[in-house]
Amino acid sequence: MNYVFKETRNLPVTPIVQSTYYRLACLFADRAQKAFARVDSGDLFSEYCQNVIKDDIVKSSHLPCSHVIAACSSFHHDYTTLIPTVLKNESVYSIYNTTFKVVHDKSYWPPYDGPLLCHNPNMRRLKKGRLNSTRIRTEMDEEVVERTSTPRQCGLCRHTDHIRKNCPCINNW
């Protein structure tokens, strides 16, 4: 899937959708061929399922480990009933064996009769300047709120009606 989204960052929406659509179509066609080859070869389970059973990676895969398979074979019990049908090659092939419909040019589309949607220009983000903070304030920020609620003081004389830059006492220092 990473291949599908590769090189699509910082593109407008339409090229992102087109690129994703056509790359997914290619990916599904490729995986359908591989799944059909596995079904043709006679393998019952998918490659993922076989690797998990072979490597004993049973932590959270809900698949039987090699010990369960050995116990089933000693009691002449079919262990394939313990594996979900989703992991069988026929299921994998049926997933990828879909056809993607071609999206035609806009001139082929039927006329649209629904409501006309217009954007609100006041809701657009300003391109200049720093972005607004989206941080959620918690009780940890109460001290910061108290500090900002008190008026600023001059750095020289500690009065609140001006700042150090235009302090009347600057000539006395």
- Contacts made by residues 54-63, CB under 8 angstroms, sequence distance 24+: 63/87
Q: What is the arithmetic mean of pLDDT over 120-146?
A: 73
Contact 58, 66 (CB under 8 A): no
Regarding pTM above 0.85, the answer is no
More confident residue, 115 or 102: 115
Q: Name the residue with tokens 């720093």.
A: 130
Q: Which residue has the higher pLDDT, 172 or 156?
A: 156
Closest listed residue to residue 53, CA positions, set 86, 80, 35: 80
Q: Give the span between the Cα atoms of 141 and 138, in whole angstroms.
A: 6
Rg (CA), the chain: 32
Separation CA 55–CA 118 (nearest Å): 56
Pair 72, 79: CB distance under 8 Å: yes
Taking residues 126-138, report their average pLDDT. Answer: 75
